[in-house]
Amino acid sequence: MCAEPGCAEPGEFRAPPLEGTGFTGDGPPQFRWLCLDHVRAFNSGYNFFAGMSPDEIHDAQRPLAGWERETRAFNATGGADRPPRWADFADPLDAIGARFRDRMKDRAERQDGRPLSGKDREALKTLELEVDSDRMALRKRYSELVRRYHPDRNGGDRSHEARLQRVIEAYQQLKGSPAFA
Give the integer Cα–Cα distance in Å for 136 and 150.
21
Residue 165: its pLDDT value, please? Answer: 92
Give the integer Cα–Cα distance in Å for 5 and 132.
59
Residue 95: its pLDDT value, please? Answer: 57
Residue 105: its pLDDT value, please? Answer: 53
Residue 88: its pLDDT value, please? Answer: 54
Give the integer Cα–Cα distance in Å for 82 and 79.
5
Query: How crowded is the C-beta side of 116, counted as CA atoms within 13 Å?
Result: 24
Residues 115 and 109: beta-carbon distance below 8 Å: yes
Residues 172 and 131: beta-carbon distance below 8 Å: no
Residue 134: its pLDDT value, please? Answer: 83
Residue 53: its pLDDT value, please? Answer: 92
Residue 166: its pLDDT value, please? Answer: 94
**Amino acid identity at 81:** D
Query: How crowded is the C-beta side of 144, counted as CA atoms within 13 Å?
Result: 10
Give the integer Cα–Cα distance in Å for 60 and 157.
70
Residues 167 and 125: beta-carbon distance below 8 Å: no
pTM equals 0.40
pLDDT digits (tens, 9 = 90+) for 123-155: 999 999 888 888 888 899 999 999 888 888 877
Residue 108: its pLDDT value, please? Answer: 47
Backbone angles phi, psi at 94, to 5 degrees: 55, 35
pLDDT in tens, the chain (181 residues): 898 889 999 999 988 877 656 556 666 667 889 999 999 998 888 888 888 999 988 888 887 766 666 665 555 555 555 555 555 556 655 555 555 455 555 554 555 566 677 888 889 999 998 888 888 888 999 999 998 888 888 778 788 888 999 999 999 998 888 877 6
Q: What is the DSSP secondary structure assignment for residue 156, as one 8-state letter?
A: T
